[in-house]
Amino acid sequence: MKKGPYKILSSKTVYKNPWMSVREDKVIYKGKEKSLGIVDYKPGVSVVALDAEDNIYLIKEYYYAISEYGIQVPSGGVEKNQTSLDAAKEELLEETGLTGKKWISLGFIHPLTFMLNCPADLFLAFDLKQKGKPEKGIELLKIPFDEAYQMVIENKIVHAPSIVSILKAKIWLENNKSISKC
């Protein structure tokens, strides 16, 4: 079987859990046999939540894989039979206790395209209301949006979907100033 310029010789799943699977593909590429490790992770969402004073709500939590605390926008997975927008609304509520009345799609990303299949839909939420508390283990941060943008520039926010979400939100806000204040 062919996949783009690759000829697939074999493919086997070497690990699987409810969120992800890891497979090893044996391929021929440019005349040479190679082994490729591919991670299929369930789709995700990330939300830039802005209040009427242009504050963004970020979360701080421990990133197990890289052994450090990090700051990001509310993010999470999309369940089967759930739309990305519904997942975004659920993650915003779970991680911040907030709901948003107005939602804008900022597009999607594939964070690490050579070895990771994990699309993430990005959203901008306005007209926020406090409905609950952040889930346990999460520190909620409310800061001016321009400060969060600077944190991206200074590598203080390193979560890829958060970076792209904040950069796309900045562009959207600059192009739609009158709309964002509705």
User: Are 119 and 131 part of one and the same domain?
Assistant: yes
Residues 37 and 58 in one domain: no
For residues 7 and 73, membership in a common domain is answered with: no
Query: What does pTM read for this prediction?
Result: 0.91
* 64 shares a domain with 129: yes
pLDDT exceeds cutoff 90 at 11:
yes
Residue 165 has pLDDT above 50, yes or no: yes
Whether residue 36 sits in one domain with residue 95: no
What does the alpha-carbon distance between residue 31 and residue 146 come to, in Å, rounded to a whole number?
50
53 & 136 share domain:
yes
> So what's the pLDDT on residue 177?
75
- Tell me: do 161 and 110 sit in the same domain: yes
Query: Do 35 and 51 share a domain, yes or no?
Result: no
Tell me, yes or no, whether 25 and 79 share the same domain.
no
Are 89 and 146 found together in one domain?
yes
Token pair recorded at residue 172: 């959207």
Shortest CA distance to 116 belongs to which of 47, 36, 62, 45?
36
Cα separation, 45 vs 82, in Å, equals 12
Residue 174's CATH number = 3.90.79.10
**Mean pLDDT computed over every residue of the chain:** 95
What does the alpha-carbon distance between residue 49 and residue 87 come to, in Å, rounded to a whole number? 14
SS3 string, the chain, reads CEECCEEEEEEEEEEECCCEEEEEEEEEECCEEEEEEEEEECCEEEEEEECCCCEEEEEEEEEHHHCEEEEECCEEECCCCCCHHHHHHHHHHHHHCEEEEEEEEEEEECCCCCCEECCEEEEEEEEEEECCCCCCCCEEEEEEHHHHHHHHHCCCCCCHHHHHHHHHHHHHHHHCHHHHCC
In the predicted structure, residue 182 carries a pLDDT above the cut 50: no
pLDDT of residue 148: 98
In angstroms, the CA 11 to CA 163 distance is 33
**8 Å CB contact between 126 and 102:** yes
Specify the number of domains making up the chain. Answer: 2
What tens digit of pLDDT does each residue of 100-136 get? 999 999 999 998 888 999 999 999 999 999 999 999 9
Do 63 and 31 have their domain in common? Answer: no
Do 8 and 72 lie in one domain? The reply is no
For residue 77, the enclosing domain spans 44-180
